[in-house]
Amino acid sequence: MDGSERPGAEPDPVETDATPEEPTEKRAGAGRRPSTRILALGVAAAVLLAGGAVAWAATKPDEKGPAKGRFSALPDLCAAVPGSTLRQYLPRAGTPVPDRPETNSSGERSGGCEWTEPTYEVGAKRLTARSAQVSARIFPNVTAAEEDYDHSWRSAKTTAGTASSSLGDIHAEAPSIVGGVGDEAFAQPQQVADKFGRSANVTTTVRLSNAVLVVTYEGATYGTDENGAIDLSRATPLDESVSRAAAQTIAQNVVTAFVLHG
């Protein structure tokens, strides 16, 4: 810009005995113009502060990494299901059989437990036999558990429908969301018909923080042979609503065991 456009241009000097006014440019603002030395110190301080901020940012921990989650150890899965649940859904079950806990190279901890009812009873004309399997896996962080759960959900959706082979037919229903169990959960019923007979089960998959739990419950009522052993070819699977309720109840029991175990 030229002098005529500069804001606050100085007026022509006027002859007077009084002390001349300071130029408008010098009066403008709230105080004196800082000296060159003060400006230099201010610049140096700003540089030091900026450098310190860069160093702090470089050494600050990454707060955006995956959350570790609540759990680092498995509870006793065989003790997770109380007597009230067993009496209702597995009344003839014997001593539960635990899976050996394992830890893989990624730091994932896994374990499980299984309950089964005898498949024979002397003198019985008909016999109902049920089983339940629980498996659990603890992941190093919540993100890994979410990815595993999402993979299970996608697989369940992919397998929905009927698959036939020379061995028989497997029909899997579409998975459905289960509310009120863990952080997220879904269930999927499945029916199998083969040369041995018919069977059915319901699997409930649950994510709780950095843990993923899978519960499978199945059962049927069978005709028996002369020794009281079940005849697989004379099986009538349990009603699906019963199997759904059993799998969900057992899953909730295991979730409670995780929470109490911490």
CA angle in degrees (0–180, nearest 5) for 243-151-194: 45
Residue 170 exposed, middle or buried by CB count within 10 Å (0-12, 13-18, 19+): middle
Task: Sketch out the chain's domains with CATH numbers.
Answer: 13-59 (no CATH), 77-261 (3.40.1000.70)
Local confidence pLDDT in tens for the 262 residues of the chain: 444 443 444 444 444 444 444 443 333 333 444 444 433 434 344 433 344 433 333 334 445 677 889 999 999 999 999 999 999 999 999 999 999 999 998 899 999 999 999 999 999 999 999 999 999 999 999 999 999 999 999 999 999 999 999 889 999 999 999 999 999 999 999 999 988 889 999 999 999 999 999 999 999 999 999 989 999 999 999 999 999 999 999 999 999 999 999 7
How many whole angstroms separate alpha carbon 106 and alpha carbon 132? 28
3-state secondary structure of 4: helix
The 3-state DSSP composition of the chain as helix, strand, coil percent (nearest 5) reads: 30, 35, 35
pTM higher than 0.95 for the full model? no
- Listed in sequence order, the residues at least 6 apart from 11 whose beta carbon sits closer than 8 Å to its beta carbon are 24
